[in-house]
Amino acid sequence: MSSGYFLGVDVGSASVRAGVFDASGKRLAFATRPISQFRPGPDRVEQSSAEIWQQVCDAVKGAVSSSGICIEDIRSLGFDATCSLVVLDEQGQGLAVSPGEPSDHNIIMWMDHRAVQEAQHINATRDPALRYVGGEVSVEMELPKVLWLKKHFPATWHSAHRFYDLADYLVCKATGSDVAGLCTLTCKWNYLAHEQRFSHSLLDAVELTDLTGKIPSHILPPGAAVGTLSADAAQALGLTTAVVVASGMIDAHAGGLALAGVEPTGTLALISGTSNCHMLCSEQEIYTPGVWGPYWSAMLPGYWLTEGGQSAAGALVDWTLQESGASAELFHKAEARGCHPIVLVNEWVAELERKEFEPGRYLHVLADHHGNRSPRARPDARGSVCGLTLERGEMQVARLYLATLQAIACGTRHIMEVMRENGHTISRLALCGGATHNPLWMREYADATGCDIHLMQEEDAVTLGAAITGAVASGAWANIPSACQAMVRSGEIIKANPARRDFYDRKYQAYLMMWDQQQAINQLMQ
C-alpha cells in the first residue's frame, strides 16, 4: 500500500469542502466553508473567485489542523468545482461579469441562465461538433456565456486575458501554471478531446475565433500532475511546496470517478446535489439525443463519457419545503426537536403511508422548475403540479414532498431509459451526494428505476474523487482505476422493491404525460 495523505477540495454551489484522506481512502478530517452567491438580475447568478480562493485556504487549513497529521506527510492536492466561468484581466484580477457590478463579482455560475439567446444562436449553426453534446449546447455551458459577454459586455470581453472553468482557476492559483483540464474543456467548452482541437467552424460561425487566445493552450487529463504548490499558495494553504497538484475536474465528474472507477462499464454514477448529474462510461462512442457527450477521456481516461442532468434536484426539494403553506410549522417543530426538517417530514410521510396506499398516486409533479438539462434539453421548461386539493397542514406538506421526490426519481428513470434506447448498458446504479442522507429519497430512486443502489462508505464521494486524482498525480498509484481499487470502499446497498413496480410503471407514464400536456398548453398560448 502506498503511504502518505491526500487532500481533496470540492467547491460546490454554496460551500467549499476540504477532506484529508489516507491511502485506504479513509477520511481523517473534513472542513466546510460557505461561499456567497450574487443575483444582480433575473436569471443571473454570480460569485467571486477571490472569496472562493480565501475560503479554499481556510477550509484546507481547518481540515489539516483537525487531522492532526504533519503537513510534510501530505503528498497531493486535487481540485474539483462547479462548471462556472471565471474571468480575469492580464494581472490576474477579476473583471465584472455584469455592467454596474463590482469587479470581484467575476464568476458566471453554472446555474446562471442569462445566455439563452446565445445558446440558441450556437445551436442554430448545426455544426457537427454539437453531436458531442447531445445535439445542442446547454445555457449552462461556457460558450453561450462568453458569447453573451462579447455581445452585451464588450468592456469585459476586451479586457479579459483569461477565461477559466472554476476548477482550472483554482489549479492555476495553486501552482501558477496556465493549464486547463481535459474534463472541463471537453464537457463545458465544446473541446473535441478525441481530436485534440476545437471546432474552428463552430467558433467561426458564432464569431468566437478569438476565444482560443483567452483560454489555456496546455490541456491535461484527469489525474495528471500540473506541478507543485507555488510558494505563495503553499503559505496561503498552510502546506509545503512539495505538494503535487492534479489537473482540475468538474465536481460531478470527480464524484463519478470515485463511484465508477472500480467498475466503469455499466455503472451509472448519480451525483445528487443541488442538481443531479448522471455519469455513464462506455468503451464505445454512443450518441444520445439531448444527453451530453460522448466525451472522450473526460472522467476516466480511455472511456467515453455520457452525461445526463436534472437542473434542479436538492434545490427543488428545498424549495418545495420552504414554499409550502405549512413550512413555518415544519421548520419550527424541527428546530424544537433539534433535528433536520427532512427527518421530521419523512416521519410525516411514514404516517401518511400508514393511512393510505401510495399517497402520491393522485398527486404528480413535473420537476422542471429550473429548466431541464436532458434528454429534453429545454432551459425554458417549467415545473407543474397535477392533482392539488384543499388539503392543508402536515399531510399536505408530506404528500407534496413525496410527490416531488418521486418526480425527480422519474426524471432519473427517463434519462436511463433514453440512454438504453440508444445502445447503452446500465447494470448498476451508484449514488452519492446529499440525497444519500435521505433514506426515503433512496427508496424512491431504487423503486422508480428498478435498480439496486450502491453506496460508498465515504459519504462525500466528490471530495474523495478529487483526492484520488491528486494521489495518481503524485505517483502513489499508476492510474485512476488502481487508485480507486485502493481508496474506494463499498457501502450499503438499497434494494429495489419489486412490489412497487406496477405503481411506478404507472407513475412514470403520468410523468411523461405531464410533459406532453405542458408542451401542448404552451403551444396553445403562443
C-alpha 490/C-alpha 455 separation (Å) is 7
Q: Confirm if 69 and 61 have CB atoms less than 8 A apart.
A: no
pLDDT at site 373: 77
Domain boundaries, the chain: 5-247, 311-429+493-524
Confidence band of 485 (pLDDT split at 50, 70, 90)? very high
DSSP calls for 63-107: HHHHHT--GGGEEEEEEEE-S-EEEE-TTS-B--SSTTS-TT--E
Q: Confirm if 216 and 226 have CB atoms less than 8 A apart.
A: no
C-alpha 24/C-alpha 308 separation (Å) is 31
Among residues 129, 97, 125, the alpha carbon closest in space to that of 112 is found at: 97
> Which residues is 245 bridged to in the sheet?
77, 227
E strands, 334-440, are 364-366, 384-386, 428-433
Q: Confirm if 432 and 438 have CB atoms less than 8 A apart.
A: no
pLDDT at site 189: 98
C-alpha 66/C-alpha 215 separation (Å) is 37
pLDDT at site 338: 96
**Count of H-run helices and E-run strands, the chain:** 17, 24
Instruction: Give the number of other CB atoms < 10 A from CB of residue 479.
Output: 14
E strands, 252-375, are 267-272, 276-282, 292-296, 304-310, 364-366
Confidence band of 247 (pLDDT split at 50, 70, 90)? very high
Is 5-247's fold the same as 311-429+493-524's?
Answer: no
Q: Report the amino acid identity of residue 231.
A: A
Residues whose CB falls within 8 Å of the CB of residue 347, separated by 6 or more in sequence, listed in order: none
pLDDT digits (tens, 9 = 90+) for 23-43: 999 999 999 999 999 999 999
393's grid cell: 397542514
Report the top-level CATH class of 311-429+493-524.
Answer: mainly alpha
pLDDT at site 273: 84
C-alpha 344/C-alpha 187 separation (Å) is 39
Instruction: Give the number of other CB atoms < 10 A from CB of residue 384.
Output: 17
367's grid cell: 420537476
pLDDT at site 1: 55
pLDDT at site 370: 82
112's grid cell: 446562471
Confidence band of 508 (pLDDT split at 50, 70, 90)? very high
C-alpha 151/C-alpha 260 separation (Å) is 40
pLDDT at site 327: 85
Mean pLDDT of 155-184: 98
The overall average pLDDT reported for the chain is 95
C-alpha 319/C-alpha 369 separation (Å) is 10
pLDDT at site 378: 82
pLDDT digits (tens, 9 = 90+) for 261-285: 999 999 999 999 888 999 999 999 9
pLDDT digits (tens, 9 = 90+) for 81-132: 999 999 999 999 999 999 999 999 999 999 999 999 999 999 999 999 999 9
C-alpha 244/C-alpha 469 separation (Å) is 10
C-alpha 399/C-alpha 466 separation (Å) is 38
C-alpha 179/C-alpha 213 separation (Å) is 13
Scored b (16 or more CB within 10 A) or e, 440-463 reads: bbbbbbbbbbbbebbbbebbbbbb
260's grid cell: 465508477
Among residues 124, 415, 398, 181, the alpha carbon closest in space to that of 298 is found at: 181
Residue 156 has pLDDT above 90, yes or no: yes
Counting every residue, how long is the chain? Answer: 526
Residue 120 C-beta-side C-alpha neighbours within 13 Å: 8
Residue with cell 476540504: 18
C-alpha 376/C-alpha 136 separation (Å) is 11
Among residues 123, 215, 231, the alpha carbon closest in space to that of 176 is found at: 231
Q: What is the Cα 455 distance to its own chain's centre?
A: 18
The CA angle 185-188-193, to the nearest 5 degrees, is 40
C-alpha 58/C-alpha 32 separation (Å) is 9
364: helix, strand or coil: strand
448's grid cell: 422508480
212's grid cell: 482560443
Q: Which fold has domain 5-247?
A: Nucleotidyltransferase; domain 5 (3.30.420)
Q: Report the amino acid identity of residue 210.
A: D
Mean pLDDT of 375-404: 92
125's grid cell: 449553426
225: helix, strand or coil: strand
Q: Confirm if 399 and 409 have CB atoms less than 8 A apart.
A: no
pTM of the predicted model as reported, rounded to 2 decimal places: 0.92
